[in-house]
């Protein structure tokens, strides 16, 4: 299963994958489901396309043997740090190591861009997800940010905050 950089021809498939893993009925097959916290979509084609056209952003994609995208991760260089977001694995592929492989490739990408750390944000109430990132070298920074008030990323059912985590690169 090769991991490569996504291009604009992947826009529709990436959008569908991310929405299927985080929202709606299909997301309930996996453990990344956020439907209990947010209504609406996770992302749309306009946002994905803008990411793919941004020189500071790369989206890595994992392809299965049939050529379908089964996982992706958003990477944005911000000075000496890399911001990692939108780590997504198809609900039916979760638990098979795709997320770990994407994280490893993100580490390689960060080093290739001379970044000294990777930062992420995680919904503060997602303790199982925070623990997963901790097992992969991320630490809580203590910084809390508000969830974006933008329906393009979902409609919060209750107040949501984001925990900032960081992984130093040696």
Give the pLDDT confidence of 21-49 residue by residue, as tens digits.
876 555 455 566 666 666 566 788 999 99
pTM for the model: 0.89
pLDDT for 158: 81
Architecture of domain 3-168 in CATH? 3-Layer(aba) Sandwich (3.40)
pLDDT for 110: 97
pLDDT digit string, tens, across residues 124-160: 998 999 999 999 999 999 999 998 776 767 767 788 8
pLDDT for 26: 54
Q: Distance between the two ends of the chain, CA-based, in angstroms?
A: 27
Q: Contact, 84 vs 73, CB < 8 A?
A: yes
């Amino acid at each position: 299963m090769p991991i490569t950089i996504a291009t604009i021809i992947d826009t529709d498939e990436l959008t569908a994958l991310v929405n299927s893993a985080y929202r709606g009925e299909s997301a309930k097959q996996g453990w990344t489901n956020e439907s209990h916290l947010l209504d609406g979509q996770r992302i749309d084609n306009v946002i994905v396309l803008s990411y793919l056209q941004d020189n500071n952003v790369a989206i890595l994609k994992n392809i299965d043997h049939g050529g379908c995208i089964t996982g992706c991760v958003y990477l944005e260089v911000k000075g000496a740090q890399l911001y990692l977001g939108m780590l997504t694995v198809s609900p039916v592929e979760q638990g098979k190591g795709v997320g770990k492989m994407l994280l490893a490739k993100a580490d390689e990408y960060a080093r290739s861009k001379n970044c000294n750390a990777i930062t992420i944000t995680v919904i503060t109430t997602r303790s199982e997800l925070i623990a997963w990132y901790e097992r992969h070298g991320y630490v809580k920074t203590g910084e809390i940010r508000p969830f974006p008030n933008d329906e393009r990323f979902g409609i919060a059912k209750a107040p949501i905050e984001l925990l900032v985590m960081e992984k130093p690169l040696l």
